[in-house]
Amino acid sequence: MSANLFFQLSALLAIAVGTAFLVRLIKQPLLIAYIITGIIGGPLLLNLFAASEHMYVAFSEFGVVLLLFIIGLDLNFSYLKKIGKEALIIGFLQFLLNFFLILLLVYFLGLSWSGAAFLAVTVCFSSTIVVLKMLGDKQDEDSVYGRYTIGLMLVQDLLSIVILLFLSFLTPSNALASDYWWFLFKTLAVITSIIIAAKFILPDFLRKIAAHGEFLFIFTVAWCFGVASLFLWSGFSLEIGAVVAGLSLGASSYRAEIASRIKPLRDFFLIIFFIILGSKADFLQINEILMPALFLSIAVILIKPLVLYRLFRWRRFTRRNSFLAALTSGQLSEFGFIILFAAAALGYLPGQELAIFTVAAVITIFFSSYLMSYSYQLYNLLLPFFLWFGRDKRVQPEEIKENFDALIFGYHRTGWKIGEALKKKKIKFAVVDFNPESVDKFQRQGLRAFFGDASDVEFLQSLPLTRAKIIISTIPSPEDQLVLIHFVRKHNPKAILITSLYHKKYLSSLYKAGADYVILTHLFGGSWIADIVARGELEKHSAWNKYRRHQIKDLNGS
């Protein structure tokens, strides 16, 4: 069994690598490659899932939970308060308008009213997984349209939970239907426990384990899956639990380090999710469901973005942000499968609604990935059309991200003396350190401090490195410094980059990688002593007493 699973997984990943190579060669979204891999590996061709399909589904759920956990990490309650009103208004109106428009259209496909109604409900949801994946690939999560799109996804997720709860009440054997008060008790108990843990327990606990990267990683995964499981037990979904798990850690100063360690694991399991999605395309019934699926796909790709665009414009968003946000809605959602499965179990789907939805989901995700990938180019292409209606008078400035003139890696070593000099020159700087106690100390001193590992590229991507004029590293590891140098030279080639070494062995490697200057501490120490000799102070006790007092004073103030 295990040997067969390893063969299946290696074969799937080999197909994914080959397909991804071809897809990137023609500059297309990688997500398309994963869906094609699922079609090739699914029942239509190789049927690699037959023996272990449940295990692959579990893998894909891991990816969904980890993705939403990281989204929760990037959110905070002040952020939710800021976007909440608009997200709620647009989210609810979008759902209602899409439902009535799509209901009339799908009824003419020959479905029953109940089948058409459930299909219309599922069409109202967009894929949280696809949208967040594409926003992350484009690094648009912090843009105006990206923030409100994430808010809309959360509203849609909450609406899907309400619908699933309603379906649960229709099931006589369901515990929710028979014991409503027990459901409320579980919900309140779980939420209260998480709030108490996040406020009083987690901060001290994270401070103690943050310096051990492996320990931090294990705890984070355990916390994510544990909270998600508690929410599932209380009657909600794993997805909502994952967002809450991330929110509970979102205020931590270790947030960037946590996210950087989780992302590679998330990406692996998300690949499995999209492969599974592609494998579910039921082409065996293609003659019967192709035309309804195509009709539904066209309606989704055209109607949903148009409705969302008009709602964003009504709420006084710019044409550009309204257009970019609208393009994120043109696909079907993974929650649709869950709702249709529940409806089928209750006997409300007498026809081929689920098969139609599955093929339409693959088609819409396929095409909407292109639309989102090239959204900026599409807007520029359509700009002359928009200008026919006059210039856009609405303005929404993007939030300015943190920028610093200088960043110092390893502040508790040589860096603090450099920081003192930068303060005197009134140069704005931030510090980066991998010692959680040092980071807390720097923050108490009023310094902007980031906690994380400089050898982690995911963590470096979260730092404001692209506009820094000066980057100084006193990290002792030359291997870590090489990672930092390569990253900086790729993303900020004009920055002055100063590094340090305790030995000249790696000097040529650092210069070759792109360091502007490498501080060799033993040479500086020798130069300092040579300067004392030149001043004739080598044999003067009074001089050394003076230097010792200055040293102790500096160390006490560091």
Phi, psi dihedral angles at 497 (to 5 degrees): -120, 110
User: Which of 104-113, 139-148, 276-285, 294-303 has the lowest average pLDDT?
Assistant: 276-285
Please report the sign of the dihedral spanned by the C-alpha atoms of residue 149, residue 152, residue 157, residue 158: positive
Is the separation of the CB atoms in 230 and 245 below 8 Å? no
* Distance between CA atoms of residues 371 and 383, nearest Å: 16
Cβ–Cβ < 8 Å for 398, 143 = yes
Q: Quick one: pLDDT at residue 11?
A: 85
pLDDT band at 399; cut points 50, 70, 90: low
Secondary structure (3-state) at 468: coil
The proportion of the chain whose per-residue pLDDT surpasses 70, expressed as a percent, equals 88
Whether 172 has a pLDDT exceeding 60, the answer reads no
CB 33 within 8 A of CB 20: yes
Contact 54, 68 (CB under 8 A): no
Lowest mean pLDDT among 19-28, 178-187, 337-346, 353-362: 178-187
Q: What pLDDT sits at residue 444?
A: 81
Termini Cα distance of the chain: 59
**Confidence band for 76, pLDDT divided at 50, 70 and 90:** low
pLDDT single digits (tens) 241-299: 887 888 888 777 788 788 888 888 888 887 887 787 777 665 666 667 778 888 889 98
Distances (CA, A) of 397 to 41, 85, 143, 389: 46, 19, 10, 22
pLDDT for 268 equals: 86
| Cβ–Cβ < 8 Å for 518, 511 | yes
CA–CA–CA angle 480, 502, 478 (5° rounding): 15
At residue 96 the predicted structure's pLDDT band, cuts being 50, 70 and 90, is very high
Average pLDDT over residues 534-550: 79
Residue 181 has pLDDT above 90, yes or no: no
CB-based burial, 428-448: b 16+ in 10 Å, e otherwise:
ebbbbbbebebbbbbeeeebe
pLDDT at 73: 80
Per the prediction, the chain carries an average pLDDT of 81
Beta-carbon neighbour count of residue 345 at 10 Å?
Answer: 11
- Which conformational region is residue 390 in: left (phi greater than 0), alpha (psi within -120 to 50 degrees), or beta? left
Residue 173's pLDDT is what?
Answer: 47
Query: Per-residue pLDDT for 406 more than 90?
Result: yes
When mean pLDDT is compared across 27-31, 135-139, 371-375, 492-496, the lowest value belongs to 27-31
Does the pLDDT value for residue 400 go beyond 50?
yes
Residue 452 amino acid letter: G
pLDDT over threshold 90, residue 30: no
pLDDT digits (tens, 9 = 90+) for 188-247: 888 888 888 888 888 888 888 877 778 888 999 999 999 888 888 877 767 778 878 888
Rounded to whole angstroms, the Cα distance separating 43 from 48 reads 8
DSSP tag of 237: -
Walk across the sheet containing 449-451 and list its strands. 449-451, 429-433, 406-409, 470-473, 496-501, 517-520
Residues 6+ away with beta carbon under 8 Å from 222:
none
